[in-house]
Structure formats: structure tokens, C-alpha cells
Amino acid sequence: MSQRAHRGPGELAPAVARRRRARRGAAAVGAVLALSGLLFTVSARTADAGPERHAQDLGELSRQQAENVERMSAEVDALRADVERLAAEQNALSGYGVPTPAPAHLVAGGSVPVVGPGLTVVLDDAPADVQNGSVNGDVLVVHQQDLQAVMNALWAGGAEAMALMDQRVISTSAFWCVGNVLRLHGRVYSPPYVVRAIGDPDELRAGLDDSPAVRGYQRHSVEVGLGWEVSEQDRLELPAYSGATELASARVPADVEVLPGLPARPDAFPAPDEDGPDEATTRTEEGT
């Protein structure tokens, strides 16, 4: 006579327990597979988002940034034109006519495009096939100080307007080099670098010849092949300046005309006694 094994309360038969364990294992495997599929889907969608979501390299990031700057500069120019138009309409309605600045002021401020005779100067890195172990590699590329020397020499030679690459430069313009690329007003450029200056061509050439720094660059251009080209044009066309013109520190002194024919504003700049002792008094007190 066979005997059945005795099971306590709540204890399952071995076959039932095995089936339940199998079902729990299958459910766990299914959950893992579902999570894996979700992760693969998210990764695929992220990868297909294109360069607009994730730029592939620094070059792509730089290109996108340059495009953004160019787009925003165009928007700024359009808004500035709207402001000037609305201001002119408001002045006409009020019966108060704002004097037109002299052409020289407009040209110096870079607010209008200009044409005239001048020089074009091109600077470029030495050819890639230049192999000379005795030459420092820094000598083979155009540096920020090289461009500064050329532009300063042209200003000293009487340049009346100037452009670097495709942008007009004014008194607040600043550029710098990072590696072998140039950054100007938020845009990035690679060599060759082009400087255009409007003025008397002979005097501009004399300004270049009188600069020790420019002569040093010319010497290197002969020795290691740096690019150097100066050409004269009867008609150069330079664009108007495109960029911010707000000033944070400069102010017009009191009793000075902002524009010819426009009455001076006494409150344009505080008088010395309104903002402390004047400069002469301060120096006298410091010297005693």
C-alpha cells in the first residue's frame, strides 16, 4: 500500500511549484527584452535626429554658430533700419528735423557703404609642402599680430575706411586668432586673410613700407613662403558695418554738439562738481 507524502499548510506540490517558477522566469526575461527594445529605439531616434541636434564635430559646431551669427546680424540690420525709419517719421510729425550728419562722420562711423581707390592686402600661410626643419612652425602661419601690423600701417598711411575679409571694421572692432582661424564679430574665417583699405594708394603703400612689423612679415614671406600680395584698385567697395553699436562707457560731454546743428544737452554728462571734485582739484589735493 503506497503512502502519500505529508504536506503542511500552504505547501505546494513540486510540479506546481516548478510551473510557477518557470512562469516567473519567463516574465522576467520578457521585461528585460522590453526594456532593451526601448533603449534601442531611443538610441536610434537620437542618432537620426541629425546634426541640428548633435553636431558631429567642432567644425560642424563652428559652422552652425557662424550661420547663427550671420542670420542674427541680418536681423539686427533690418531692425536698425526700421528704427531709423520710424524715428524719421516721428520727427517729421513733431515738426523737429534732425540734422543729417556730415558724410565724413557717417564714413568714419561705418554706418554707410563706401567706394573709392585703395589697396587690397592678402596674407596667407606658407604652403603645406614647405619642409624646413630649421624653421619654427610658428613662422609658417599668419598670426594675429601680423594682421594687426598691416591694418595699423594702413591706418597710419591715411586709410579712410577699411574691411577685414567681408566685414567693415570700425573703432570698436576687435579680432583674435585661435589656432589658424580668425574670429571677427562672431564669425570665423580661415586664411588667406584679405584686408581692403580705401585711401590714397601711394600713401597707403608708404604706410606699409614704414612699418617694421610689416617688413618683418615680408622678409618671412621671402624666406619661408608666407603669402603676401598687395594690389591697387581704382574702385573698392566696402560694406557698411554690421554689428552692435551700443556704448557702455563713452559719453558726450556737456555743451558739446552730438550732431552739427543739434542743440547740446546740458545733462549729457554730469558736471565735475555734481559727481565729486574736478580732476584738477583732486590732483592738487593729492600733491599736498
pLDDT tens for the chain, 288 residues long, are: 444 444 455 555 555 555 555 555 555 656 656 666 666 665 555 555 454 444 556 667 666 766 776 676 667 667 666 766 776 667 667 666 666 677 777 788 888 899 999 999 999 999 877 756 666 778 889 999 999 999 999 999 999 999 999 999 998 888 888 877 888 888 889 999 999 999 999 999 999 999 999 999 999 999 888 999 999 999 999 999 987 777 788 888 877 777 666 666 555 545 444 454 444 333 333 333
pTM of the model: 0.62
pLDDT at 114: 95
Q: Which CATH class is domain 112-238?
A: alpha beta
pLDDT tens readout for residues 179-221: 778 888 888 899 999 999 999 999 999 999 999 999 999 999 9
Neighbouring-strand partners of residue 115: 237
Rounded Cα distance, 166 and 125, in Å: 19
pLDDT at 45: 59
Question: Do 134 and 200 contact (CB within 8 A), yes or no?
Answer: no
DSSP assignment of 177-203, as one string? Answer: EETTEEEETTEEE-SSEEEEEES-HHH
